[in-house]
Amino acid sequence: MSKNYLNKKILRVDLSNKKIKEQTVPQDWFGKYIGGMGFGIKILFDEVNPKVDAFSPENKLIFSIGPLTGTMAPMFAQTCAVTKSPLTNGALNTYAGGFFGAELARTNYSTIVIEGRAEKPCYLSVEEDGAEIVDAGSLWGMKTIPAQEAIKKDLGKNVQVACIGPAGENLVRFSSIIAGRRAFGRGGSGSVMGSKNLKAVAVSGGERLPENEKLAEAIKEAREILKNALSQEWHLTALFSRYGTNAAMPSLNERGMLSTRNHQEGVFEGVNKISAEYFGKNLFVKNVACFACPVACGRFSVVKSGPYAGTQTEGPEYETIYAFGSNCGIDSAEAIAKADQLCDEYGMDTLSTGVTVSFAMECYERGIINKKDTGGLELKFGNHEAMVKLVEMIAEREGIGDLLAEGSRRASEKLDVGSEVFAMQVKGMEFAAWMPEAMKGIACTFATSNRGACHKRAIIGDEFSGRADPLAYEGKGKLTKEIQDKVNAIFTLVGCRFSEWTYPLDLYLKLLNAATGMNFSEKDFIMVGERIWNMERIFSGFTRKDDRLPERCYTHPIPSGPLAGTLVDREKFEKMLDEYYEARGWDKEGRPTEAKLRKLSILT
């Protein structure tokens, strides 16, 4: 029988020496880090030299769950993976939903720490009370879905598998780990796994422990709140449940906020051909849910005719549709679905892949690269056949795909002809689907995020709804700091991002305290998030010089639409950074002060 959360252990795997051992979780970790992202960052911070190459055996890959994982609490199905990112060279935390985390919760482990490098391809098989390293020579080179099926056949039991595809094996710097059809998407965790000759982690647990009475009551309350949200016509979670995460794309387009043709424009003329309505009428088959979640935001889709007939994907999500759609000037939903399927099969982040493709398209249209460089591809905006082919070339590191597999920042540096101005990335990570010119909170979020141009800890809802003026700079530094700390705290529970705008903060505390028997206050909980944020910042070594946007955001006004003429004012942006650093208790260069680190018990 699986132990309760506070009694679970850390499973440590040294692939170089083929050694596996267990470690008791230090008791003070629960109060200071809770679990999930907190445990992952703590281990990375303490045990990995920040200067080590991300592909070195000395880098560690950490999978972790939280105290609500595997319970019937809805929107806590995700698993966290932490490592040093080969894309940003900073601390990475990345998440996948589905059923992998729930299965890990049925073992005696809350955390798996993998280090070293195996001599030959292998996978890790984790059971309720033990693990073994298994030869994976026959699996190397397989795409993710066949590899998962082969492992399940080999083990002969009900297992959940997180694995890499050829992109991870080829060390594509934004390759992903795929669990089922869900992705640990951003930052290149798949290539870290590939550098370790680790094809997969397979987990098979025991029975699920029943919830105690207090936890059962808190879960009941959570389900009632979620049920009410899903019954409301315009609640964001309800819209995602009915239409998927792409529900708001036409509205964004109407407001001039939809990144188009590598962030050159904010309005896409083909939006109706890639909208949730179009996907729903022409590709949608059924909803797909994560463990214990009634939202079922996943949309299993099939292309029924045309050149991409037979394509199957659990999506695409809004961010994917932006990356391969409007941002590449492509209005073929079927081609976007195909690109999404390829990314899942090869194991690649759809955002970084799509934005890197759009970067290459602009390079082609500007004459920086030509048909000889692209292997004959006419890499113009709107050419969906070229886009789909280039996705495969990147995964296989074929031709120009080898350069682009390094990410847009490194590719622009290698080309060295001024293309860094329109390489849409921060700290090496490509833009998510939001425009800093149109939302100044996004400008602050993208610039200061520890992951790079990441939207997971942003005030998007406030700015999109009008609760906060999207074009205002004042106050956005403080708001950004507050949402970053709050979401970091939620990610120690490995809560879905959707829960943040569905559940009141006190519900997280009820669930957490009931599950652990602890007594977290709101202040305690938020401070955990702030502590982790500062640890990430220190590990990554980021300062003010890194907290900047691509030059295009400051110098290239949105050319048309409702926000025509809008850009990021450099002077006001710098003042917003000052406000952010002051709210954080950092110095003017964006470095955590000794006083702040002592207050957070990072220094003692």
Per DSSP, the residues of 378-402 read ---TT-HHHHHHHHHHHHHT-THHH
Structural contact between residues 37 and 69, judged by C-beta atoms closer than 8 angstroms = no
Alpha-carbon distance of 152 to 156, in angstroms, equals 6
For residue 86, what are its two tokens? Answer: 């080969």
Q: How many CB atoms lie within 10 A of CB 312?
A: 17
The CA-based angle 560-561-563, given to 5 degrees, is: 90
Alpha-carbon distance of 71 to 302, in angstroms, equals 32
Alpha-carbon distance of 420 to 430, in angstroms, equals 12
Residue with tokens 């030059």: 551
- Structure letter (DSSP) for residue 179: E
Q: Is-cis flag, bond preceding 166, omega within 30?
A: no
- Structure letter (DSSP) for residue 517: S
Task: Select from 331, 340, 268, 327 the least CA-distant residue to 299.
Answer: 340
Alpha-carbon distance of 521 to 304, in angstroms, equals 52
The torsion defined by the Cα of 413, 419, 423 and 429, in degrees rounded to 10, comes to: 0
Which alpha helices (H) appear in 276-370, and where do they start and end?
A: 276-282, 318-324, 333-346, 350-365
Burial of 367 (0-12, 13-18, 19+ CB in 10 A): exposed
Q: How many CB atoms lie within 10 A of CB 9?
A: 17
Alpha-carbon distance of 587 to 585, in angstroms, equals 7
Structural contact between residues 479 and 116, judged by C-beta atoms closer than 8 angstroms = no
Which element (helix H / strand E) includes 8? none
114: three-class secondary structure by DSSP: strand
Q: Amino acid identity of 7?
A: N
For residue 243, what are its two tokens? Answer: 């239409």
pLDDT in tens, 407-435: 999 999 999 889 999 999 999 999 999 99
Task: Select from 329, 324, 322 the least CA-distant residue to 311.
Answer: 324
Burial of 580 (0-12, 13-18, 19+ CB in 10 A): buried
Alpha-carbon distance of 316 to 529, in angstroms, equals 30
Structural contact between residues 195 and 231, judged by C-beta atoms closer than 8 angstroms = no
Mean pLDDT in consecutive groups of 10 residues from the start of the chain, 604 residues: 82 98 98 98 98 98 98 98 98 98 97 98 97 98 98 91 98 98 97 99 92 96 98 94 94 97 98 97 97 96 98 96 98 98 98 98 98 97 98 98 98 95 98 97 98 94 91 98 98 96 97 97 98 98 98 98 98 98 98 98 94
Size of the chain, expressed as the number of residues it contains: 604
Q: For 554, how many CA atoms within 13 A lie in the half-sphere containing its CB?
A: 12
Task: Select from 497, 527, 483 the least CA-distant residue to 509.
Answer: 527
For residue 329, what are its two tokens? Answer: 């000037």
CA distances from 383 to 365, 422, 588 (A): 12, 20, 45
- Structure letter (DSSP) for residue 433: S
pLDDT in tens, 540-596: 999 999 999 999 999 999 999 999 999 999 999 999 999 999 999 999 999 999 999
Alpha-carbon distance of 434 to 205, in angstroms, equals 39
Alpha-carbon distance of 165 to 396, in angstroms, equals 10
Beta-bridge partners for 127:
130
Beta-bridge partners for 299:
287
Q: What is the 3-state secondary structure (H, E, C) of 143-159?
A: CHHHHHHHHHHHHCCCC
Task: Select from 469, 360, 371, 364 the least CA-distant residue to 424.
Answer: 360
Task: Select from 7, 158, 93, 131 the least CA-distant residue to 487.
Answer: 93
Which element (helix H / strand E) includes 578? helix 570-584
Which residue pairs from 4-9 have beta carbons closer than 8 angstroms and sit at least 24 positions apart in sequence?
A: 4/209, 5/35, 5/66, 5/67, 5/110, 5/515, 5/516, 6/30, 6/67, 6/516, 6/517, 7/108, 8/107, 8/108, 8/109, 8/110, 8/111, 9/108, 9/109, 9/110, 9/111
For residue 377, what are its two tokens? Answer: 């591809």
Task: Select from 142, 116, 191, 200 the least CA-distant residue to 406.
Answer: 191
For residue 405, what are its two tokens? Answer: 């597999």
Question: In this structure, are strands 177-179 and 160-163 parallel, antiparallel, or unpaired?
Answer: antiparallel
